[in-house]
Amino acid sequence: MTRLDGKVALITGATGGIGTATADLFAEEGARLVLTDRDGAALEELATRLASSGADVLPVRLDVSSAEDWSAAVEAVRERFGVLHVLVTLAGVVDWPGIEGTTEEGWDRVIAVNQKGTWLAMRAVMPLLRASGNGSVVTTSSVLGLVGSGAAAAYQASKGAVRLLTKTAAVEYATQGVRVNSVHPGVVATPMIQEILDEQGDQQPDIVRTPMRRAALPHEIAPAYLFLASDESSYVTGSELVVDGGLTAH
């Protein structure tokens, strides 16, 4: 029996590096998938590939910062599957400037996607998760939701907010059949930061601060989401699963 057998899982940001790796792993482990992303073409390509391997996949184009899009997505899930067991929030954007360099437009964009988008996701799907009797929410914070870096002010603010939003949701739903936990990746070689990694290599500051002295690959992060989505983590809620090569160990 596979680890997600019988479960329906919704993944936001499914066409990103960690999103695709997580979708692949969840499909291997028997989940029926609701894959969402703003990039409709990439989403259809991913869904077609997974379906050709035997996965039951529903692609839904979605802007996570839009309440209207979330309402439509939930209706699509109800019509196709009638139930939802797992929510994984992987949609995210980054803005690198510090306090004085961050523009109001940049701040609002990051907060809308990373922070508001996570809350909208929880609010929209929680009735389905509660009805399942065994739901799991896995949010994506970051090591930069735990420690400061001196840059990326909007991104760090949003990821710190996701961390505590996760904890308060965990407390709120602890007796309602839904667990809520966060994953905190370190440096990951994804399209979001690949240009920086290509330019700076192992001299990229966060890699220099990482004891393992390398970036993770997306498939090294995906198992964290699998564990928290599966029944193996049945007594885990409100927790932070850090996958950072030791970056926050010192």
Q: Is 235 a catalytic residue?
A: no
Q: Which of the following is catalytic: 155, 173, 225, 235?
A: 155
- Token digits of residue 131: 């009805």
- Token digits of residue 24: 């692949």
Extended strands (E) in 48-131: 57-61, 86-89
Residue that is written with structure tokens 């990229």 in the block? 204
Strand partners, 135: 178
For helices 218-229 and 17-28, angle between their N-to-C axes, nearest 10 degrees? 50
- Token digits of residue 95: 């803005």
Angle among Cα 248, 137, 142 to the nearest 5 degrees reads 20
- Token digits of residue 183: 């994953």
Angle among Cα 26, 61, 191 to the nearest 5 degrees reads 65
Helix (H, G, I), strand (E, B) or coil at 188: strand
Neighbours of 220 (CB within 10 A): 16
DSSP 219: H
Extended strands (E) in the chain: 8-12, 32-37, 57-61, 86-89, 135-140, 178-185, 240-243
Active site residues: 155
